[in-house]
């Protein structure tokens, strides 16, 4: 490396470090000096999370990829995204606390002023384009839904385990999912207010982030009562990272359809296209000649255990969660012996379609390495298979996962 490059690299690294301190100062409301003191006595790294890998994730200082704290003991950081460590769900109850909810940002979290924010409904699929303010939306009849939002790429790293080939994209393990109580207004009410045309076929919510994430969706989805324009999450105004002031909720559909920071909804009498239904969120690969666009989520299960973690030998009650985009969960079976025998897990009472159910099962753990398997079946009879074909961008991994655990 020549001197000039070295200087650039040094400047770049300094900038990254500076940005990191700046972000932490904002997150914890501490001065840099106080933060440095925390780190110097060695408690800081544990309390705040260790220095994240900034590769790819860092933007200019005024653009913060994620605003809320995402400490490393609760999240895996992947560039502009933060994945909840699945073991952190243990003991949190049915709803995922807002602070613990994963963040998936294609670019970064914008800061939007709700008092100047507008939602525009336009296109040839409506008779009268309208514009709503935040207060106008909040004064409309509301509806509350408890539902999951899950990234289409959740479990992507498992494609490599099965097929020895890495799928491209954020290397999620199991924690690109959360369940919340979402309050908002049925999108259909807003569409009707704009004079929805009978011949409208598609609608496309536009995000106000720098990438303007926008995903065309069928009008039938827009007319379902539980498709919401959401302004509250678990009883609080949406956090900036989760779409403040308003996001879409599309129960059962892949995460990207739940457009955050929505500023415009285009309604059309002809099919709509964007990169998010032509280039990404499409299954590409030899087993998918028809190149289907991903729509709804499949059935899955995960243990609330650290990945590749350790347990003491003896009696344990293992816990986990199972979910489906197509219904509620009918059963979860667990195997401790590599799939030779399966035992039914206990399901908790709360089992909401397109959300999840908590399960538990006793296990007498013997010393050694284990691969724990949980296999969920939903109310439509969909069961997790042992294997699924590869797709290049690693969407919808729904096969049974072999969770590595060492018992000591
Ligand atoms: N405007 C906008 N909306 C977006 C995204 C985005 O980057 N920009 N990410 C999408 C993806 S891929 C997912 S999985 C969910 C994640 O929602 P969350 O960050 O609130 O967990 O938001 C979706 N909505
Ligand atoms: Mo996603």
Give 225-270 pLDDT, tens digit per residue. 999 999 999 999 999 999 999 999 999 999 999 999 999 999 999 9
Residue 341 sits at φ, ψ, to 5 deg, of -125, 150
pLDDT band at 64 (very low <50, low <70, confident <90, very high): confident
- Dist CA 285 CA 164 (whole Å): 15
Q: How far apart are alpha carbons 82 and 176 in whole angstroms?
A: 8
Domains of the chain: 3-48 (no CATH), 62-277 (3.90.420.10), 300-407 (2.60.40.650)
Pocket lining: 307 vs ligand 1, CB cutoff 6 Å: no
pLDDT digits (tens, 9 = 90+) for 329-366: 999 999 999 999 999 999 999 999 999 999 999 999 99
**Residues that place a CB less than 5 A from ion ligand 2:** 104, 151, 255-256
pTM for this entry: 0.86
Beta strands in 269-327 (DSSP E): 300-303, 309-311, 314-323
Judge if the upstream peptide bond of residue 235 is cis by omega within 30 degrees of 0: no
Q: If you compute the radius of gyration of the chain from its CA atoms, what whole number of angstroms results?
A: 22
Torsions phi, psi for 120 (to 5 deg): -105, 135
Residue 11 above 60 pLDDT?
Answer: no
Question: Ligand 1 within 6 A of 230 CB?
Answer: no
216 lines ligand 1 (CB under 6 A): no
pLDDT-derived band at 22 (thresholds 50, 70, 90) equals very low
398 vs 54, 127, 236, 341, 382, CA distance in Å? 30, 42, 32, 20, 10
Question: How is residue 266 written in tokens?
Answer: 């285009």
Residue with CA closest to ligand 1 atom 20: 242
Encoding tokens for residue 137?
């939306």
| Alpha carbon 129 to chain centroid, angstroms | 31
256 phi and psi angles, rounded to 5 deg: -60, -25
């Amino acid at each position: 490396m020549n001197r000039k490059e070295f200087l650039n690299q040094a400047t770049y690294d300094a900038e990254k470090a500076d940005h990191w301190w700046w972000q932490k100062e904002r997150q914890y409301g501490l001065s840099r000096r106080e933060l440095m003191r925390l780190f110097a006595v060695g408690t800081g790294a544990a309390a705040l999370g260790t220095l994240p890998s900034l590769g790819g994730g860092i933007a200019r200082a005024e653009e913060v990829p994620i605003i809320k704290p995402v400490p490393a003991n609760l999240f895996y950081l992947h560039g502009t995204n933060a994945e909840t460590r699945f073991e952190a769900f243990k003991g949190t109850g049915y709803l995922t606390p807002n602070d613990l909810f994963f963040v998936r940002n294609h670019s970064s979290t914008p800061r939007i002023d709700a008092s100047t924010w507008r939602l525009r409904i336009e296109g040839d699929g409506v008779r009268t384009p309208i514009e709503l303010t935040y207060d106008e939306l909040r004064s409309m009849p509301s509806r509350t839904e408890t539902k999951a939002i899950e990234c289409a790429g959740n479990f992507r790293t498992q494609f490599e385990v099965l097929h020895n080939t890495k799928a491209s994209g954020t290397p999620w393990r199991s924690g690109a999912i959360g369940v919340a109580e979402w309050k908002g207004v049925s999108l259909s009410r807003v569409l009707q207010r704009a004079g929805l045309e009978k011949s409208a076929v598609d609608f496309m919510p536009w995000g106000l982030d720098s990438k303007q994430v926008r995903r065309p969706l069928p009008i039938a989805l827009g007319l379902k009562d539980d498709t919401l324009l959401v302004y509250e999450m678990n009883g609080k105004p949406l956090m900036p990272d989760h779409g403040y002031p308003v996001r879409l909720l599309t129960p059962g559909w892949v995460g990207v359809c739940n457009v955050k920071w929505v500023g415009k909804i285009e309604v059309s009498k002809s099919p709509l296209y964007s990169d998010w239904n032509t280039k990404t969120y499409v299954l590409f690969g030899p087993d998918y000649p028809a190149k289907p666009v991903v729509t709804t989520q499949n059935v899955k299960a995960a243990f609330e255990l650290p990945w590749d973690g350790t347990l003491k030998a003896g009696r344990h009650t293992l816990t986990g969660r199972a979910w489906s985009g197509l219904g509620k969960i009918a059963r979860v079976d667990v195997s401790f012996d590599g799939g030779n025998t399966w035992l039914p897990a206990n399901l908790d009472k709360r089992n909401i379609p397109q959300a999840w159910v908590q399960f538990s099962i006793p296990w007498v753990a013997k010393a050694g390495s284990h691969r724990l398997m949980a296999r969920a079946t939903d109310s439509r009879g969909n069961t997790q298979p042992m294997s699924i074909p590869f797709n290049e961008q690693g969407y919808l991994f729904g096969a049974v996962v072999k969770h590595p655990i060492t018992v000591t």
